Structure 1
Amino acid sequence: MTKTITTSVCIIGSGPAGLLLSQLLANEEIDTILLDRKDRAYIEGRIRAGVLEQGTVTALEEAGAADRLHREGLPHEGFELAFDGERHRIDLTGLTGKTVTVYGQTEMTKDLFEKRMQQGQRFFFNVDDVKPSDLKSDRPRVHFTHEGQHVTVECDYIAGCDGFHGVSRQAIPADVLRTYERVYPFGWLGILVEKPPVSHELIYANHDRGFALASMRSNTRSRYYIQCDASDDVADWSDDRFWEEFATRLGPDAAASLQTGPSFEKSIAPLRSFVAEPMRYGNLFLAGDSAHIVPPTGAKGLNLAVADVRLLHRALALHYRHGKDDLIDAYSETVLRRVWKVERFSWQLSTLMHQFPENSDFEKRMQRAEFDYLRSSEAASRAIAENYVGLPLD
Structure 2
Amino acid sequence: MRTLHIIGTLNPASGGPAAAVSMHIEFSRPGHVSEAVTLDDPASPFLKNFAYPVTALGPTPTKFGYNRRLVPWLRENAARFDNVIVHGLWQYCGFATWRAYSGKVPYFVFVHGMLDPYFKRAFPFKHFKKWAYWIAAEYWVLRGAVNVLFTCAEEERLARKSFWLNRWSSVIVPYGSRTPDVDLAQSAADFHGRFPDLQGRRYLLFLGRIDRKKGCDLLIDAFITTAANDPQLDLVMAGPDETRWRPQLEEKLRRAGLSHRVHWTGMLSGTQKWGAFATCEAFILPSHQENFGIAVAEALSCGRPVLLSDKVNIAPEILADHAGFMEADTLQGTTNLFLRWMKLSQAERERMGANALACFHSRFDMKVNVSVFNDLLETAAHLQSNEHLASASG
| TM-score above 0.5 | no
Give the alignment's TM-score, normalised by structure 2: 0.36
Q: Which has the higher strand share?
A: 1
